Amino acid sequence: QVQLVESGGGLVQAGGSLRLSCAASGRTASNSAMGWFRQAPGKEREFVAAISWRTGSTYYADSVKGRFTISRDNAQNTVYLQMNSLKPEDTAVYYCAARKPFLVLTTTPSLFDYWGEGTQVTVSS
């Protein structure tokens, strides 16, 4: 079992930056592919970024490529999402998610097994 707790959301002006953190607990958390997803009001949950458990390979949605960076600190069981050059359309609840240990990376929300409660990110124009 893996428990996930997000933090770091807030209100920021367009062009600003935020850093989200996802603290994972559970002895196999460091062996899990991790991802960030977001959901805006009235929209479906969408993929933002993901990182593999073994090689550290990363994947990004086209809408955030070049602006967002996902990283992980396995010693701290924490995954980060650095968000720069934020836009109003980035406003959403951001969720951290994890696959069961040793599974390959995916960008499909339904294939992630564990989810955090989410943290609100609001970007004002």
Per-residue pLDDT of 60-89, as tens digits, reads 999 999 999 999 998 888 999 999 999 999
Amino acid at 15: G
Q: Please choose, from the candidates 37, 32, 33, the residue with its C-alpha nearest in 3D space to the C-alpha of residue 81.
A: 37
Q: Are strands 78-83 and 92-98 parallel, antiparallel or unpaired?
A: unpaired
| CB within 8 Å of 119: residues ≥ 6 apart | 6, 7, 8, 9, 20, 93, 94
Residues of the chain with pLDDT under 70: 27-29
Per-residue pLDDT, 26: 76
Per-residue pLDDT, 27: 65
Per-residue pLDDT, 25: 87
